[in-house]
Amino acid sequence: MSQTTNKELVIGLVSVSDRASSGVYEDQGIPALAAWLAAALTTPYRIETRLIPDERAHIERTLIELVDEERCDLVLTTGGTGPARRDVTPEATLAVGTREMPGFGEQMRQISLRFVPTAILSRQLAVIRETPDHAALIMNLPGQPKAIKETLEGLKDLEGKQVVGGIFAAVPYCVDLIGGPYMETDPAVCKAFRPKSALRPPQT
């Protein structure tokens, strides 16, 4: 699949929560994701948001809709990745994916283990969903706003030096490889990594 140069970048944000979707409390996942993307991305983009319950069939339908119909290039989910019986986001994500990308889940747990030993209970993962003419990267992120930021951005010391790399540094190049638009980031927030052969001049 060849890379599209002028295609609009579309990002889907999905918060999976029984209580938030039913109005018991206000959702924090989508606002946290949207705020981080606003700070990190310098490429223009459009977002599609969905707040849904912890129901596997509903999650699967939502992910398929966002990729196949809304043409999202990247879908970020938050919530539903623990070991509780209602936590079925990973199962739904694997069901709609065509290829698993295990490195993202491995790195997410490595970041979280810096803070809590229960990070090993997390089942966060990432997949690529492909159709004949489109593809998207789908990633399951933590549920807490602080953990979302740490997972995407990584950890820095007091001088701003990267201690642990965040997963988003690899996302733009992954989107390149599956035919999506060229994504650029603010290096002060998250420096995207690409091989020299894949770099383009900065957009003006």
Q: Which amino acid is located at 85 in the chain?
A: R
| Spatial CA neighbour of 32 closest among 44, 42, 22, 47 | 47
**Using one digit for the tens of pLDDT, what is the confidence trace for 68-113?**
999 999 999 999 999 999 999 999 999 999 999 999 999 999 999 9
Q: Which amino acid is at 21?
A: S
161-190, pLDDT tens digit by residue? 788 889 999 999 999 999 999 999 999 999
As a whole number, mean pLDDT of residues 147-158 equals 89
CA distance 166 to 73: 19
HSE at residue 94, side-chain half, CA atoms within 13 A, is 10
* Spacing of C-alpha 56 from chain mean position: 18
d(CA 92, CA 55): 9
Walk me through the domains of the chain, giving residue ranges and CATH numbers: 9-198 (3.40.980.10)
CA distances from 58 to 51, 180, 195 (A): 11, 26, 38
- pLDDT for 1: 47
Give the integer Cα–Cα distance in Å for 53 and 176.
32
- pLDDT tens digits for range 4-63: 456 899 999 999 998 888 888 899 999 999 999 999 999 999 999 999 999 999 999 999
Q: Residue 2 — pLDDT band, cuts 50, 70, 90?
A: very low
d(CA 120, CA 88): 17
pTM greater than the 0.75 cutoff: yes
Give residue 162's pLDDT.
Answer: 80
